[in-house]
Amino acid sequence: MHEITEDGKIVEIPLAERRAAREAKRESAPSISDKAKTTEIYSGEKTFQSWANEIHIGDRLKHAKSWKDLHAAAAAYNCEIRQKGAGLIICPIGETGGMALSKVGLKNLPSKFGAFQPAQPGKQTTEPEATYQPGPTDKKAKSHYQKWREARDDFQPMKTDRINEQRESHKTVRSQVVAAQKAEIEKIRENRNGPERIAAISVAKMEHTAALVELSDQFAQERKALRAELAAAGPGNTFRDFLWQEAKKGDDAALGLARKYGIDESNDVLRKREADELQIVAAASGREHKPAQRLNFTYIIQRSGTVVYDFGQGRKVTDSAIAKQIQLNREAGNSPEAMPLHCALRPKNLGTR
């Protein structure tokens, strides 16, 4: 990179100066990791990293003069400092999440404070000034989020009992099968001799191995079925799942929130995948035509907030939250009877913005 001096000369900016400028820019606008971004988009919940950036936790930690000071500063936010690999992280006590100290501007701490010293148990007496608590990434979703948390807490005991019940059942069945196999081997050893016994034991063990593999596959399918059953019966594994369920029940506010998350999640890959799955051939923009007749239709709502309208005879119109378009599948795009309706559709008429 170059710059123009006061006397009009073009000179190269030194590498060290460029690096310092990039570092200052990065620290002035801290960002969260790609993994945290993905988590927020998928779940709809604010991560610890976002919360830490919002309260500028790094500004408090930077004043520490020793490991003891650093632990005390972290405790003021109900957090703790830990070693992870060759680096250090700060994470909330009693909650999931964490981030590298380098993300908040603290680097090369061992060279300043010496070898890492863990916090002493029972030594911290600082009352937390602020505490991270999971919440929705959208402030407008607080009431729905609280409703989901309460429903999830009420559902959790039953969910845990069903999972434990299945686990114990599988354990019992496996133990019975193994015991029967051992008894069969012992019977062969008692009643047969020589090469015949060796061959019989070999065949029995092979059959037992195949039976255990088949049993493992059966257990995997049963676990998958139970997870699907619990997901359908419960309030949703994530906040976005809950919004999806509420939207399908007719909650317009939940549908709006679900669509917002779908828009935040959208990218070229998802837009192409949605177009391929729904066989999209065109996007409706709206012209001078008006609907010539009223058509009956049904609709389904997807997790992203996309609404698929079915007008019968294979004709489907998609109000896509991902592509932010009104889209037509092949049958709808080639339907002369439905064309006036398609031409009248505009993004503002439905949920797309």
Mean pLDDT value of segment 102-123: 83
Q: Which of 273, 279, 260 is nearest to 324 (CA)?
A: 260
pLDDT (0 to 100) of residue 55: 87
The residue out of 218, 237, 256 marking a domain boundary is: 237
264 with 211, same domain?
no
With a cut of 70, say whether residue 293 has pLDDT above it.
Answer: no
Q: Does any domain span residue 192?
A: yes
Q: Which segment of 46-60, 293-307, 319-333 scores lowest on mean pLDDT?
A: 293-307
Residues 218 and 322 in one domain: no
What is the reported pLDDT for 218?
94
**The predicted structure's pLDDT at residue 176:** 93
* Within a domain: 141: no
How high is the pLDDT of residue 348?
A: 47
Domain end, chosen from 90, 116, 142, is at 116
pLDDT (0 to 100) of residue 1: 61
Is residue 123 a part of any domain in this protein? no
The tens digit of pLDDT for each residue in 19-61 reads 777 666 555 555 778 888 888 888 888 899 999 888 888 888 8
Residue 242 and residue 245: Cα distance in Å, rounded?
Answer: 5
- Most trustworthy range by pLDDT among 143-152, 256-265, 312-321: 143-152
User: Which residues does 147 contact at the CB level (< 8 Å), separation at least 6?
Assistant: 242
B/e letters for 48-73, b = 16+ CB within 10 Å, e = fewer, are bbbbbbeeebbebbeebeebeebbbb
Q: Which of 222, 325, 322, 350 has the alpha carbon at shortest distance from 263? A: 322
Which contiguous run of DSSP H or E holds residue 286?
Answer: none
Residue 211 has pLDDT above 80, yes or no: yes
Long-range contacts of 85-94 (CB under 8 A, 24+ apart): 88/116, 90/52, 90/57, 90/61, 91/48, 92/48, 92/131, 92/132
Whether the per-residue pLDDT at 337 is higher than 60: the answer is no
Same domain, 259 and 324: yes
Instruction: Looking at the structure, tell me whether residues 181 and 83 fall in a common domain.
Output: no
Question: Are 262 and 227 in a shared domain?
Answer: no
CB 62 within 8 A of CB 73: no
Domain presence at residue 229 = yes
Look at 6 and 113; give whichever has higher pLDDT.
113
- Among 204, 221, 237, identify where a domain stops: 237
Tell me if residue 4 falls in helix, strand or coil. strand
Task: Encode pLDDT of 185-206 as tens digits.
Answer: 999 988 888 888 888 888 888 8
List beta partners, residue 309.
299, 317
| pLDDT tens per residue, range 214-266 | 999 999 999 999 999 998 899 988 888 888 888 888 888 888 888 777 766 66
Nearest to 97 by CA among 139, 56, 135, 145: 135
Tokens 């998609």 belong to: 318
> Is residue 40, in this structure, part of any structural domain at all?
yes
Q: How confident is the model at residue 166 (pLDDT cuts 50, 70, 90)?
A: very high
User: Do 27 and 94 sit in the same domain of this protein?
Assistant: yes
- In this predicted structure, the answer to whether residue 82 has a pLDDT above a threshold of 80 is yes
Judged against a pLDDT cut of 80, whether residue 274 lies above it is answered with no
Specify the range with the lowest mean pLDDT, choosing from 42-46, 55-59, 208-212, 296-300.
296-300
Please check whether residue 64 is in contact with residue 117, taking contact to mean a CB–CB distance below 8 angstroms.
Answer: no
- As a whole number, mean pLDDT of residues 137-142 equals 83
Q: Do 210 and 299 have their domain in common?
A: no
Hey, what long-range contacts does 248-255 have (CB within 8 A, 24 or more apart)? 248/300, 248/301, 253/144, 254/144, 255/301, 255/305, 255/307, 255/351
Mean residue pLDDT of the chain comes to 80
- What pLDDT is recorded for position 225? 95
Helix boundaries (H) for 64-193: 67-75, 109-113, 142-191
- Which amino acid is present at 274? E
Which of 336 and 206 is assigned the larger pLDDT?
206
Same domain? 290 vs 197: no
Q: Give the per-residue pLDDT at 200.
A: 86
CB-based contact 300:347 (threshold 8 Å): no
* 291: pLDDT strictly greater than 80: no
Identify the pLDDT of residue 267.
60
φ/ψ of residue 134, rounded to 5: -55, 145
Q: Is the same domain home to 18 and 112?
A: yes
pLDDT computed for residue 229 by the predictor: 93
Are 276 and 231 part of one and the same domain?
no
- Tokens at residue 77, please? 């936010």
Domain region containing 11:
2-116
Beta-carbon count within 10 A of 218 CB? 12
Kindly state whether residue 122 falls inside one of the protein's structural domains: no
Residue type for position 102: S
The verdict on residue 339 lying in a domain is: yes
Residue 8 has a pLDDT of: 60
Domain count across the chain: 3
Cβ atoms of residues 312 and 318 within 8 Å: no
Least confident residue range of 74-83, 220-229, 235-244, 319-328: 319-328
What is the Cα 50 distance to its own chain's centre? 15
Q: Give the model's pLDDT for residue 290.
A: 44
351 contacts 308 by C-beta, under 8 angstroms:
no
Strand partners, 11: 3
Same domain, 85 and 12: yes
Region 61-72 average pLDDT = 89
Count of helices and strands (H, E) across the chain: 13, 10
Strands 10-12 and 87-92: unpaired
Q: Are residues 70 and 100 in the same domain?
A: yes
Is 162 part of a structural domain of the chain? yes
